Amino acid sequence: MQLDINGLAYEIDISPQLPLLWALRDHLQLTGTKYGCGKGLCGACTVHLDGQPVRSCQTPVSALHGKKVVTIEGLSEDASHPVQRAWKQHNVPQCGYCQSGQIMSAAALLANNQQPTPAEIDTAMSGNICRCGTYPRIREAIRDASG
Ligand code: FES
Protein backbone atom coordinates (compact mmCIF):
# COMPACT_ATOMS: atom_id res chain seq x y z
CA MET A 1 0.00 0.00 0.00
CA GLN A 2 1.13 3.53 -0.74
CA LEU A 3 0.28 6.04 1.95
CA ASP A 4 0.72 9.82 2.02
CA ILE A 5 1.19 10.70 5.68
CA ASN A 6 2.27 14.13 6.92
CA GLY A 7 3.62 14.99 3.49
CA LEU A 8 5.76 11.84 3.20
CA ALA A 9 5.13 8.92 0.85
CA TYR A 10 5.27 5.48 2.47
CA GLU A 11 5.15 2.09 0.82
CA ILE A 12 4.19 -0.56 3.33
CA ASP A 13 3.17 -4.17 3.01
CA ILE A 14 -0.16 -4.33 4.84
CA SER A 15 -3.66 -5.63 4.25
CA PRO A 16 -5.96 -3.11 2.53
CA GLN A 17 -8.46 -3.81 5.29
CA LEU A 18 -6.11 -2.75 8.08
CA PRO A 19 -7.47 0.28 9.92
CA LEU A 20 -5.32 3.36 9.43
CA LEU A 21 -4.89 3.60 13.21
CA TRP A 22 -2.82 0.40 13.24
CA ALA A 23 -0.86 1.33 10.14
CA LEU A 24 0.14 4.54 11.90
CA ARG A 25 0.90 3.06 15.30
CA ASP A 26 2.31 -0.38 14.49
CA HIS A 27 3.92 0.12 11.10
CA LEU A 28 4.98 3.77 11.07
CA GLN A 29 5.52 4.32 14.82
CA LEU A 30 3.32 7.42 14.71
CA THR A 31 1.92 6.77 18.15
CA GLY A 32 0.49 10.21 18.84
CA THR A 33 -2.79 8.92 17.41
CA LYS A 34 -4.44 6.97 20.22
CA TYR A 35 -6.52 3.83 20.47
CA GLY A 36 -9.50 4.40 22.71
CA CYS A 37 -12.51 2.31 21.79
CA GLY A 38 -11.73 0.91 18.36
CA LYS A 39 -15.41 1.27 17.51
CA GLY A 40 -15.68 4.82 16.20
CA LEU A 41 -17.19 6.11 19.43
CA CYS A 42 -14.55 8.09 21.33
CA GLY A 43 -12.58 10.19 18.83
CA ALA A 44 -9.16 9.45 20.37
CA CYS A 45 -7.93 8.20 16.99
CA THR A 46 -8.92 11.30 14.99
CA VAL A 47 -6.66 12.30 12.09
CA HIS A 48 -7.22 14.47 9.02
CA LEU A 49 -8.01 12.94 5.65
CA ASP A 50 -7.78 15.62 2.97
CA GLY A 51 -8.41 18.16 5.71
CA GLN A 52 -11.46 16.50 7.22
CA PRO A 53 -11.46 14.80 10.62
CA VAL A 54 -11.86 11.03 10.42
CA ARG A 55 -11.64 8.19 12.89
CA SER A 56 -8.61 6.21 11.94
CA CYS A 57 -9.88 3.11 13.74
CA GLN A 58 -12.77 3.01 11.26
CA THR A 59 -10.80 3.94 8.13
CA PRO A 60 -9.27 1.03 6.21
CA VAL A 61 -6.07 1.94 4.44
CA SER A 62 -7.80 0.98 1.16
CA ALA A 63 -9.85 4.18 1.54
CA LEU A 64 -6.73 6.34 1.41
CA HIS A 65 -5.87 6.00 -2.25
CA GLY A 66 -4.79 9.42 -3.57
CA LYS A 67 -5.63 11.11 -0.27
CA LYS A 68 -3.45 12.94 2.21
CA VAL A 69 -3.38 11.99 5.88
CA VAL A 70 -2.22 14.38 8.59
CA THR A 71 -1.67 13.13 12.13
CA ILE A 72 -0.90 15.06 15.30
CA GLU A 73 2.80 14.64 14.47
CA GLY A 74 2.28 16.47 11.18
CA LEU A 75 -0.03 19.23 12.34
CA SER A 76 2.88 21.61 12.85
CA GLU A 77 6.56 21.66 13.56
CA ASP A 78 7.30 22.15 17.27
CA ALA A 79 3.62 22.23 18.32
CA SER A 80 3.17 25.76 17.02
CA HIS A 81 -0.26 25.35 15.43
CA PRO A 82 -2.64 27.97 16.90
CA VAL A 83 -4.76 25.22 18.43
CA GLN A 84 -1.71 23.66 20.09
CA ARG A 85 -0.60 27.06 21.41
CA ALA A 86 -4.06 27.70 22.84
CA TRP A 87 -4.08 24.21 24.37
CA LYS A 88 -0.86 25.01 26.21
CA GLN A 89 -2.02 28.44 27.25
CA HIS A 90 -5.19 27.01 28.79
CA ASN A 91 -3.50 23.91 30.26
CA VAL A 92 -6.21 21.85 28.60
CA PRO A 93 -5.00 18.26 29.14
CA GLN A 94 -5.45 16.37 32.37
CA CYS A 95 -4.40 12.77 31.71
CA GLY A 96 -3.81 13.72 28.07
CA TYR A 97 -4.87 10.49 26.43
CA CYS A 98 -7.69 11.89 24.28
CA GLN A 99 -6.01 15.19 23.54
CA SER A 100 -4.38 14.48 20.19
CA GLY A 101 -7.79 13.52 18.86
CA GLN A 102 -9.34 16.60 20.44
CA ILE A 103 -6.69 18.84 18.87
CA MET A 104 -7.12 17.26 15.44
CA SER A 105 -10.89 17.78 15.57
CA ALA A 106 -10.45 21.37 16.73
CA ALA A 107 -7.86 22.11 14.04
CA ALA A 108 -10.16 20.72 11.33
CA LEU A 109 -13.03 22.81 12.65
CA LEU A 110 -11.01 26.02 12.53
CA ALA A 111 -9.60 25.23 9.09
CA ASN A 112 -13.15 25.03 7.77
CA ASN A 113 -14.74 27.72 9.95
CA GLN A 114 -12.42 30.38 11.38
CA GLN A 115 -14.97 31.85 13.76
CA PRO A 116 -17.26 29.09 14.97
CA THR A 117 -20.09 29.90 17.33
CA PRO A 118 -20.20 28.12 20.70
CA ALA A 119 -22.88 25.83 19.28
CA GLU A 120 -20.72 25.04 16.25
CA ILE A 121 -17.78 24.26 18.54
CA ASP A 122 -19.94 21.91 20.60
CA THR A 123 -21.26 20.18 17.49
CA ALA A 124 -17.81 19.77 15.94
CA MET A 125 -16.32 18.44 19.18
CA SER A 126 -19.24 16.24 20.23
CA GLY A 127 -17.58 13.09 18.92
CA ASN A 128 -14.46 13.49 21.06
CA ILE A 129 -14.89 12.12 24.54
CA CYS A 130 -12.70 13.14 27.49
CA ARG A 131 -12.94 11.03 30.64
CA CYS A 132 -11.26 13.78 32.68
CA GLY A 133 -13.94 16.27 31.67
CA THR A 134 -11.65 18.92 30.18
CA TYR A 135 -14.50 20.20 28.01
CA PRO A 136 -14.66 23.75 29.47
CA ARG A 137 -10.94 24.28 28.80
CA ILE A 138 -11.28 22.77 25.33
CA ARG A 139 -14.04 25.25 24.48
CA GLU A 140 -11.99 28.17 25.84
CA ALA A 141 -8.91 27.14 23.91
CA ILE A 142 -10.85 26.81 20.66
CA ARG A 143 -12.43 30.23 21.20
CA ASP A 144 -8.95 31.71 21.73
CA ALA A 145 -7.51 29.98 18.68
CA SER A 146 -10.36 31.09 16.43
CA GLY A 147 -10.48 34.17 14.24
FE1 FES B 1 -11.37 5.32 17.13
FE2 FES B 1 -12.38 5.42 19.63
S3 FES B 1 -10.45 4.58 18.96
S4 FES B 1 -13.17 6.34 17.81
Q: Give the C-alpha separation, 29 to 25, whole Å.
A: 5
Backbone angles phi, psi at 117, to 5 degrees: -75, 165
β-bridge mates for residue 70, sequence order: 48
Q: Boundaries of CATH 3.10.20.30 in the chain?
A: 2-74
> Residue 52's beta-bridge partner residues?
49
Tens-place pLDDT, residues 47-98: 999 999 999 999 999 999 999 999 999 999 899 999 999 999 999 999 999 9
Pocket test of ligand 1: the residue of 34, 37, 71, 99 to mutate, having most ligand atoms within 8 Å of its CB, is: 37
Q: Among the atoms of ligand 1, which is closest to the Cα of residue 46?
A: 1
**Interface ipTM:** 0.98
Give the closest residue to 35 by CA, choosing from 56, 18, 15.
Answer: 56
Reduced to 3 states (helix: H, G, I; strand: E, B; else coil), residue 24 is: helix
Q: What is the DSSP letter of 74?
A: G
CATH homologous superfamily of domain 2-74?
Answer: Beta-grasp domain (3.10.20.30)
Q: What is the pLDDT of residues 33-52, one digit of tens each?
A: 999 999 999 999 999 999 99
Per-residue pLDDT of 113-127, as tens digits, reads 999 999 999 999 999
Q: Which residues line ligand 1 (CB under 6 A)?
A: 35-38, 40-45, 55, 57
Fold of 77-145: DNA polymerase; domain 1 (1.10.150)
